[in-house]
Chains A and B, each alone.
Chain A
Amino acid sequence: MDAAGTNKLTSAQKEELMDQVKQQMAIMSAQELLSKMTEKCFKKCVTKPGTSLDSSEQKCVAMCMDRFMDSFNLVSRSYSNRLLQERNKM
């Protein structure tokens, strides 16, 4: 979309555009989370792949997902704290 084109957008159209962008970003982040979670929890919980995903493995995966979210949120908080600190240093 060129600059001249966006000049003609109504404010409703702009808002729609922004919503779409935000939605896309949220989807991308969720996809990343999902794929990382699968990778990490498979590694942790399925050490010897058997003929089915047994109940203890399922339990492990469920717990691993929750811990992965805990970790993600903690890391997110730590990083944003550090950013604040660095900004105050300047």
Chain B
Amino acid sequence: MSDSFGDISNSNFGAGAGAGGGLNANADLQDFVEKEQQRAQFSAQVHNFNDICWDKCVEKVGTKLDSRSETCLVNCVDRFIDVSLFITNRFAQLLQKSGGGM
């Protein structure tokens, strides 16, 4: 299960943790928190995608994921992001057209 949390778990933070406090004693902590937040966001997003795409792509559970389900899962993630980007852009346009009167 070590690989279940994605590629970001490889990123090495805390490398400077043993450096000890200089002037910027909290810089390493701030750095750490930022990275952990990113990791948490990524992880939450993966859970969300898997939730949606599992329902869409996996019909029957067998001894392995068949190639159709695999392709579907990969496409599902990409298309979901496309839809999210498309809607964000179009929504912004709609807002602009309405004269920013909101």
Contacts of A69 in B (CB 8 A): 1, 4
The 4 closest A-B pairs by CB, nearest first: A76-B6, A78-B77, A64-B61, A75-B50
In the complex the two chains form, is B61's CB within 8 Å of A36's CB?
Answer: no
> B3, B19, B26, B46: which contacts A79 (Cβ < 8 A)?
B46
B82 to chain A, nearest CB (A): 10
The docked-state distance in angstroms from the alpha carbon of A70 to that of B4 is 9
Question: Which residues of B sit under 8 angstroms from A60, Cβ to Cβ?
Answer: 61
Interchain residue pairs with CB less than 8 A apart (13) = A9-B21, A10-B20, A11-B21, A14-B17, A17-B29, A29-B43, A40-B55, A70-B65, A71-B53, A71-B54, A74-B65, A74-B70, A79-B46
Cβ–Cβ < 8 Å partners of A41 in chain B: 61
Interface status of A53 (Cβ within 8 A of chain B): no
Question: Are A73 and B4 within 8 A (Cβ)?
Answer: yes
Q: Are A82 and B78 in contact (CB under 8 A)?
A: yes
> B7, A33: Cβ atoms under 8 Å?
no
Could you tell me the distance between the alpha carbons of A16 and B26 in the complex, rounded to whole angstroms? Answer: 15
Besides A7-B25, A25-B43, 19 more A-B contacts (Cβ < 8 Å) are A18-B14, A18-B29, A36-B47, A40-B55, A45-B61, A67-B58, A67-B64, A70-B65, A71-B50, A71-B58, A71-B65, A72-B50, A75-B53, A77-B6, A78-B74, A78-B78, A79-B45, A82-B77, A83-B42
Contacts of A33 in B (CB 8 A): 4, 47
Which residue of the partner chain, among A11, A32, A83, contacts B18 with CB atoms under 8 Å? A11
In the bound complex, residues from chain A placing their C-beta under 8 Å from that of B46 are: 72, 75-76, 79
Contact with B along A24-57 (1 / 0, CB 8 A): 0110010011001000110011000000000000
